[in-house]
Amino acid sequence: MAWLCLAPLVVHGQHARPLTEPIVIKVIRLDQADAERLASVLRPLLTKDGLITAYAPTNTLIIRDRASLVKQLVKVIKGPSSDP
C-alpha cells in the first residue's frame, strides 16, 4: 500500500479554503475481492471531494479523500484483522 498526502494551496488562481484535514491518496492491491465491484460499493461513502478508482489489470483500488475517511475505508477493506 502507498500513501500520498496532498495539500492544495491555490485553486484556479484563487486561494482554496483551508482544509481541516489533509487529502490523501491510498493505493490498495486486492487479493480476495474484485476492485471494480468494491469501488462501486464504497463510492457512496466518500465525501463530495473524494474519488475512488478501480484499476482492473492489477485489481487495485485508488482512493483519494480526507485522511480519516481513507483510514476508515482501509479498515473496512482489510477487515478487523488489519488492526495492529
With respect to residue 67, please indicate whether it lies within any of the assigned structural domains.
Answer: no
What distance in Å separates the CA atoms of residue 59 and residue 29, rounded to the nearest whole number? 6
Q: Please give the residue range of the domain that contains residue 45.
A: 23-62
With respect to residue 10, please indicate whether it lies within any of the assigned structural domains.
Answer: no
Percent of the chain with pLDDT over 90: 64
Residues 71 and 82 sit within 8 Å (Cβ to Cβ): no
H-helix or E-strand containing 51? strand 51-55
With respect to residue 68, please indicate whether it lies within any of the assigned structural domains.
Answer: no
With respect to residue 40, please indicate whether it lies within any of the assigned structural domains.
Answer: yes
The total domain count for the chain is 1
With respect to residue 77, please indicate whether it lies within any of the assigned structural domains.
Answer: no
What distance in Å separates the CA atoms of residue 70 and residue 60, rounded to the nearest whole number? 15
Asked if pLDDT for residue 71 goes beyond 70, the answer is: yes
3-state secondary structure of 33: coil
Tens of pLDDT, residues 27-36: 999 999 999 9
